A and B are shown apart, each in its own frame.
Chain A
Amino acid sequence: MGDAWSDMWSYLGSDAAWHGRNGLPELTLAQLKLAFAALAVAALVALPPAAILGHLRRGGFLAVSIVNLGRAVPTYGIVALILPFSLRWGFGLGFWPTMVALVLLAIPPIFTNTYTGVRDVPPDAVEAAKGMGMQAGELLRRVEVPVALPLILTGLRVSAVQVMATATLGALVGYRCLGSPILSGIQKQDKGAMLAAAILVALLSLATDGLFAVGQRVLIPWRRGQVKRSEDVTVTPAETLQAPAVP
C-alpha cells in the first residue's frame, strides 16, 4: 500500500494528471455531467407520480415494489442489458446507456421517500386544508409537498450520492470519466492513477452529500435548530421500503 501512495503522488505531480482528455479536471467534469443529468432525469420521472400516489394514498405499495426491482439488479448488469438497445436505436455508446442505468439506480430512493413523505402528512393538517376549501392540486402543492419536503430532499440526497459514486461505470461503455483511470489502473497494475481517481470519486460523493446537507438547511429553514442533525437523515432506504406496507 505504501507503494500505491507514492505512485499516487508521482501521478499527481505529472502533467498527464492535469491536462488533456485523460486529465483529472476533464474526467471530473464528465463525471459531474453524467451524475447531474441522471439525477435530474430521475427526479423528473419519479417525483410527480410519487407525490400524486402519496396524495391518493393508494397504489403506492405496488409502485414502490416495482420501482425497487431496480435495486435487485446491479447497475453494471443494467448497463450491459441496455447497451444492445442503445446501439440499435442509435443512442450509441458512452453517455446514454450509462445515464439510463443511473436513472434506474436513482429512482427508488426518490420515489419511495416522496411517496412515503406525502402519504404520511398528518391527517389533521390535510383535514384543516380541506376545511379551508383547498382543491386536490392546491392541497398537494401548498400542504402535502412542503410538509414532506424534508423526506423528499433526503431521497434526492441518497440518490445523488449513489449516482455520483456509480457514474464511474461509464468507463466500461466508452464514456470517459473518473472510472477510466481506475479501470486502466487495474489493467496495467498501475496503482497511482487508480488511487487518485478513486479518492476523487469518494470526495465528490462526500461533497454531494454535504451540498445536500446545506441545501436542506436552506430549503427547510423551519426545521433548523428544532431537530437534532441526525434526525434529518433518519429515513434510510431500508426504513422507507417497509413503510408503505402499513397503509
Chain B
Amino acid sequence: MKRQLKIVAVIAAAGLLAAGCGDDDSTSSGGGDGGGGEKLTLGAPQDCEENAFCIPGLKDTYGVDFTDSFTPLDLDLIPTSLEQDAIDVGVFLSTSGKLTDDKFTVLEDDKGMLAADNVFPVASKELETAYGDDLATVLNDVSGKLDTDALIGMNKRYEVDHDDAADIAKDWLADNDLAGDESATPKDGPAVKIGAQDFGESAILAEVYKQALTGAGFNASTVEVGGFRDLLFAAFQSGDVNLAPDYVSSELDFLEEGSASSDVTESLDKLKPLLEAKNLVAYDASDAVDTNTFVMTTDRADELGIKTLSDLADKVNG
C-alpha cells in the first residue's frame, strides 16, 4: 500500500518543516553586543506590552525600551526563567513570597513610576452608616500596621509553606496586637460579609480583616467571590459582600480606565467619588503595596552593578 507510506512521508516532512521554522520565538540570554548598551531581556505577563506600569512606563519614566526584548510569560514561571538565565529581568508582584529568597533582588523604582497599589478596605455605605467609627477604628488600625514586607512574609507562608490563610492571618494579628478579644461584646447591626478575590493574598487579607473585626465583637465572615474585581463589584451590588480588601490603583483603573498613578493620595482622592456613586466608602490605605515590580537574580544584578531601574536603563542604553 503506497498510500500509508505517502501519509508517513507527508507527516514527516511537515513536522520537520514546522519544527524548523518554529524556533524564531525562543529568546537567548543577553550578553554584551559590541555597540552601546547591554542587551537585556524582560520576561513579564502578556499585558506588560500595554500596561502603563510596565513597558510603556519604563519607556516614559526611565527612557528604556523593552518592546523588542520582551518575552511574554506566565507570572508563576518567571522565577524559574530568571534562575535559568532565560531572561535577565522579570516582573514579580511586589508582595510575592518568592522575594524572601536572597537570590532575587528587587530593582528600586527610584523615579516613582510603579502603581500605588496600596491595600485598603472598601465598605458599603450601609455598613459605614450602621457602625460608624467603631468599624473605621478596627479597619484603620489594621491598615496602619500592614506593610509590603508583612505581606511578603504572609504570602511566603501561603505559597511556599502552604499554610492556611486563617492561621497566617491569626499569627500576624497576634504579633501586631490586633487580635482583640474573642469574648468581646457582640455588636448589634448587619453582619459583615468580606469578599475575597480568587488569589491567595486576597484570601489572607480577607481573613486578616475578618479576624480583627471578630475580635472587636463584629459578626464577620468571608465570602469567596470566585473571580476577580468584576465579580467583587457584582457581589457588592447584589449585597452578598459589604466589605472587601482591594488595591487603590487597580480599583481606580477598573472604575475609570487610565486614571491610576504612582501617587496613593491622589489616586485615593480620585477613587472616593467614583466609589460614592456606587454607594461604597474607602477606608485608609495601608503601606502594603502589591504591584508589578522588576526583579533580577542577585548574581546578575551584582555582576552588572544594577540596583535601581535607572541603573537598568543606563546599562541597556549604554
Contacts and interface: CB of A to CB of B under 8 A. Distances in A.
A184 B47 contact: yes
Interface stretch (B23-31, B204-212, B273-281, B305-313): B23-31
B1 A40 contact: no
Contact of B86 (A93, A99, A142): A93
Interface string A153-177: 0000000000000000001111110
A47 B50 contact: no
A180 B46 contact: yes
A146 B19 contact: no
B22 A34 contact: yes
Given A37-B15, A87-B86, A88-B84, A180 B72 contact: yes
Contacts of A171: 46, 72
B184 interface: no
A108 to B, nearest CB: 18
Interface in A53-112: 80, 83-84, 87-88, 91-96, 99
A145 B77 contact: no
Contacts of A189: 228-230, 254
A36 interface: yes
Contacts of B162: none
Interface residues of A, number: 41
B8 interface: yes
B209 to A, nearest CB: 24
B80 interface: yes
A214 B18 CA distance: 23
B241 to A, nearest CB: 18
Interface in B65-102: 71-74, 76-77, 80-81, 84-87
B25 to A, nearest CB: 4
Contact of B26 (A43, A96, A145): A96
A30 interface: yes
B81 A40 contact: no
B245 to A, nearest CB: 19
Interface string B249-276: 0000010000000000000000000000
- Scoring B7, B23, B87 by chain A CB atoms within 10 A of each residue's CB, the highest score goes to B7
Contact of A94 (B3, B27, B45, B50): B27
A183 interface: yes
Contacts of A43: 11, 15
B4 interface: yes
B160 interface: no
A92 B86 contact: yes
Nearest to B16: A40
Interface residues of B, number: 42
A141 interface: yes
Contact of B27 (A33, A92, A149, A188): A92
Interface in A3-60: 22, 30, 33-34, 36-37, 40-41, 43-44, 47
A59 B45 CA distance: 45
Contacts of A219: 3, 7
Contacts of B11: 40, 43-44
A146 B254 CA distance: 59
Nearest to A40: B15
A99 B77 contact: no
Contacts of B18: 33-34, 36-37, 40
| Residue in B14, B19, B76, B254 with the greatest tally of chain A CB atoms within 10 Å | B19
B195 interface: no
A135 interface: no
B15 A95 contact: no
Contacts of A174: 25-27, 43, 71-73, 81
A94 B77 contact: no
Contact of A187 (B22, B45, B80, B230): B45
Given A87-B80, A145-B4, A183-B45, A93 B73 contact: yes
Contacts of B1: 141-142, 145-146
B26 A94 contact: yes
A99 B22 CA distance: 10
Contact of B8 (A47, A176, A183, A188): A47
20 contacts: A33-B18, A37-B18, A37-B19, A37-B22, A41-B15, A84-B80, A88-B84, A92-B26, A92-B86, A93-B73, A95-B22, A142-B1, A145-B4, A149-B4, A171-B46, A174-B27, A176-B25, A184-B50, A188-B51, A189-B229
Interface of A: 22, 30, 33-34, 36-37, 40-41, 43-44, 47, 80, 83-84, 87-88, 91-96, 99, 141-142, 145-146, 149, 171-176, 180, 183-184, 187-189, 219
